[in-house]
Chains A and B, each alone.
Chain A
Amino acid sequence: MSVIYIALPIALFMAALAVTGFVWSVREGQLDDLQTPAIRVLEEDKVKPKR
């Protein structure tokens, strides 16, 4: 029996896992706002006084 019979189900299983992960993140609301996080990273953590 060829390794294909093991590799193919594994590949499909991993794909299914990825889709499940994506579905979970969508349901969690992680993809609801794609605009703000991109801007938020531009902010500095703390304004440091120069003097």
Chain B
Amino acid sequence: MIVKSTAIRSAKTDVECTHCGLPVPSHLIAEEAENQFCCHGCATAYRILQEFDGYDPEFLQQTRSAARKQTAAQSYEHLDHPAYQQKYVHEVSPGISRTKFLLGGVHCASCLFVIEKLPEFLPGVVTTRMNLTAMTVTVEWHTASTQLSEIADTLDRLGYPPFPPLADKREQLEQVESHRQLIRLAVAGACAGNTMLVAVALYFGWFSGMSAEFLHLFRWTSAGLAMVCLVWPGSVFFRGAWQAIRTRTSHMDLPVALGLSAGAAMGIANTILQRGEIYFDSLTVLVFLLLVGRYIQYGQQRQAIRQVSLLHAMLPRAVSRLVRPVPDADTESVPIEAIQPGDWIHVRAGDVIPVDGNLVRGSTLVDLSILTGESRGIEVQQGEAVYSGSTNISSSIIIETTLVGTDTRIGKICELVDEEIRSRTPIVQFANRIGNYFVGIVLILAVITVAIWMSSGLEVAINHAMALLIVACPCALGLATPFSVAFAQGRAAARGILVKSGEVFESLARPGMIWLDKTGTITEGRMRLIEYIGDHDIQPVIELLERQTVHPIASALISSLNVAEAARLPQSALSQFVVLPGIGIQAEVNGQIIQVGSDKLLAESSTRISDNLRTAVNNFHHRGLTTVLVVQNDQVVAVAAMGDQIRSDAKTTINELVRLGWEVGILSGDHQEVASQVGQEIGIKPQHIQGHLTPEQKLAVVQHWGTSRTVVMVGDGVNDSAALAAASVGIAVKGGAEASLKAANVYLTRDGVQSILEAITGSKQTLRTIHATFAISLCYNAFAVLLAMAGVINPILAAILMPISSLSVLAVAASNRAFRNTPSQQAQP
């Protein structure tokens, strides 16, 4: 009997949280459940609203045990260690301490409610205050009645694993910078507002007459306000311009500073000479608007960086160290910083290995995908090396530390990334290129204007030249890019696409080469059953056997086989359970000897296999799948093929990318055969599929392609990060390692490759908008300059026209439709 089980799921992003309506992360989707929740906060809030009218202990117990199933049981004892307490805990008043945690798993408002209800759950906690922007919680508790580890444990069980707050220094620096920007905004805003008020009085005086005394008072007042505005908040532009001159690079600050100083010089001269127009109202408003644009942009960047550092904090902080280097010694929980080479460390099954070292006891399977991208578990025997960052899958082990911190293999790769980021030559932005010429042209035209009008007298000539400088003030040009980029960044972020810099839009708008990592990008990054051939009736027996072990293949088999509750065999049916090291497991079930394991079972001479199944096994191997054999009384009765499932949206997305003119390829650390199989299935040209690459080789491939055109690298592992940094655009996908996120300029928070397509179409639209705003402001400037040279425009008219051009540019930038459509609309552009 041949049974085929093709397990293809529907697109993950379609599932909405029953409570808040946000998309549900794929690992939290409860199959066949009526209600789906994006987080425990929503689940709890929903149940509170639906089912009961207060916090009864039974309900809390249920919630907690549900939460416990989701998160790996982790010990928080290290938080009570004096070293930790000294660093992160402050005493606010006698007996009451305060600390801060970074929380994982926070999604929405419901989370906030649940977390801030902590004092009701846990006696001894005084207050909990959540900060959704920083994803941190501040907890105050009575040190006498409860311990920090207990608080952390409760938060974890509610579904929010706590981590120590980020490196204080950087966070503080950012805080200071943000404060500085806000204060500059406030001062510029106040100056602009008051100058405008004075300007209103002046305009009234212009029409209805005003005594010279008041006229001068008002003019000097606005001159004073404008000076404050230019010297304090406006100094940013002058410093930027000065730097541009010193380094001989062009920068948008240069024309802005020139425009500001020309206007200010003219205004001051006219104020002192008591004639003509002053432009202080326009100048102060200009400074204010420019700063608003900058603040928005800065805020977006900070948000993106924060999302990234949250993952950084998810690496293990606490290590279980053996007190003496002998296998049977007791263990103690210590912070990772305390580990030295030579220490013996105990790593449980399912934990991330914190250091590089050698296995001194036990043998296990290790998931190296973060380093190599290989999705299969690697067997490690006693005496062999293990690397930090990889996950210990199958059994408890003891490691002798050889390297720690930045000396480790993962640390070295991170250093490579840092170097790559530093050595990256900045792409000269379109605005800067134009701005460069613009400044020169305007200056030359101003000189020409003076020359033309010289015959009418110096004052007239200077007047017309000044009108030209004011009217040609490249404020619209300076605003166009930052505003368009800021708008696009904001909207993209709302759609789960975090863009670090505006250059990305420019690069992504032109088709080039796009390299995709396989594991976790094109595929889901975890094992599942692809096909099952053989005896269907033995499935309950397999399920019973696999339930005895913790192993990724075992858990994948259990969830994929999906044996009905009624068909399950009782534990009593099983006897003589043994683990065959490196091969599989064996037990006696109802008098039959059953073995479940890898094809190494075939090496035993007694094992028999039918030709039919042997062909199937070879076929699976050819397709790069991992086979699990089921042997009943020395006869192979069933074969399960396990593999990494290709994402459901991969094929359509790649077809669409090709249609848009992109060349698509795969760079994988996994075996060539696996990569080829996946590539073939989603329609990638064989010559663009490269498997079995080391991180260094990936970097080399990207660099090789990167000389002549846009090269996009999409990946998630640390093994991709050097390549991500080297590419013109690096896109890190969700669930990626911290280093890859640092290296990339785009971070996708949603599953699947669909977002890549969205980023590309959105970039195209954004670049089009930027070009449109340029066209408008350049046309306006050209026209106005001509009028000024002809002497038609006087400086006051110029000062009125100037903000109009800025506003029109802003309006066009705001009307950009990029990243506004729903995902389903994006799929069929």
Contacts and interface: CB of A to CB of B under 8 A. Distances in A.
Given A2-B214, A15-B194, A32 B48 contact: no
Given A47-B53, A49-B54, A18 B112 contact: no
A18 to B, nearest CB: 7
Interface in B123-144: 130-134
A18 B54 contact: no
A40 B112 contact: yes
A4 B112 contact: no
Interface string B165-184: 00000000001001100110
B53 A50 contact: yes
B790 to A, nearest CB: 40
B102 to A, nearest CB: 14
A26 B194 contact: no
B132 A47 contact: no
B35 interface: no
A34 B175 CA distance: 14
Contacts of B175: 29, 32
Interface in A1-51: 2, 4-5, 8, 11-12, 15-16, 18-19, 22-23, 26-27, 29, 31-36, 39-40, 42-43, 47-51
Contacts of A15: 190, 193-194
A36 B130 contact: yes
B556 interface: no
Nearest to B179: A26
Interface residues of B, number: 27
Nearest to B129: A36
Contacts of B183: 22-23, 26
B47 to A, nearest CB: 12
A36 B53 contact: no
B542 to A, nearest CB: 47
Contact of A4 (B116, B193, B217): B217
A49 B182 contact: no
A48 B132 CA distance: 26
Nearest to A19: B190
A35 B55 contact: no
A8 B112 CA distance: 47
Contact of B133 (A12, A23, A26, A32): A32
B109 interface: yes
Given A8-B221, A40-B112, A34 B53 contact: no
Contact of B194 (A11, A34, A48): A11
A39 B179 CA distance: 23
B109 A39 contact: yes
A6 B785 CA distance: 43
Contact of B186 (A22, A35, A36, A39): A22
Contacts of A2: 214
B194 A12 contact: yes
A44 B179 CA distance: 32
Q: Which of B131, B133, B186, B197 has the most CB of A within 10 A?
A: B186
Contact of B179 (A27, A33, A42): A27
A31 to B, nearest CB: 6
Contacts of B53: 47-51
A19 B190 CA distance: 7
B76 interface: no
A34 B197 CA distance: 30
A35 B132 contact: yes
B194 A42 contact: no
Contacts of B186: 19, 22-23, 26
B585 interface: no
A12 B54 CA distance: 55
Contact of B113 (A5, A8, A22, A43): A43
Contacts of B54: 47, 49
Contact of A36 (B55, B132, B190, B194): B132
A34 B178 CA distance: 13
A19 B175 CA distance: 19
Nearest to B197: A11
Contacts of B130: 36
B187 interface: yes
A21 B522 CA distance: 53
A4 B193 CA distance: 18
A18 B187 CA distance: 10
B109 A42 contact: yes
B21 to A, nearest CB: 15
A47 to B, nearest CB: 6
B223 to A, nearest CB: 13
Contacts of A31: 182
A10 to B, nearest CB: 12
Contacts of B112: 36, 39-40, 43
A30 B154 CA distance: 29
A35 to B, nearest CB: 4
B48 A47 contact: yes
Nearest to A21: B186
Nearest to B225: A12
A26 B182 contact: yes
Interface in B89-110: 109
A22 B188 CA distance: 12
Contacts of A19: 186-187, 190
A36 to B, nearest CB: 4
Nearest to B112: A39
Interface string B789-811: 00000000000000000000000
A39 B131 CA distance: 11
A33 B451 CA distance: 56
A12 B195 CA distance: 10
B190 A39 contact: no
A2 B214 CA distance: 9
Given A4-B217, A47-B53, A39 B182 contact: no
B133 A34 contact: yes
Contact of A18 (B48, B132, B190, B217): B190
Nearest to B180: A26
Contacts of A34: 133
A40 B114 CA distance: 11
Interface in B432-446: none
Interface string B40-77: 00000000100001110000000000000000000000
A12 to B, nearest CB: 7
A18 B131 CA distance: 27
A11 B200 CA distance: 15
Given A8-B217, A8-B221, A40-B112, A33 B194 contact: no
A42 B130 CA distance: 14
A31 B183 CA distance: 11
A6 to B, nearest CB: 12
Contacts of B221: 8, 12
**8 closest pairs, A vs B, by CB?**
A35-B132, A22-B186, A39-B109, A36-B132, A33-B131, A49-B54, A33-B133, A50-B53
Interface of B: 48, 53-55, 109, 112-113, 116, 130-134, 175, 178-179, 182-183, 186-187, 190, 193-194, 197, 214, 217, 221
17 contacts: A2-B214, A12-B221, A18-B190, A22-B183, A27-B179, A29-B175, A31-B182, A32-B131, A32-B133, A32-B134, A36-B112, A36-B131, A36-B132, A40-B116, A47-B48, A47-B54, A49-B53
Given A16-B190, A48-B53, 9 more contacts: A18-B190, A22-B186, A26-B182, A33-B134, A35-B133, A36-B131, A40-B112, A47-B55, A51-B53
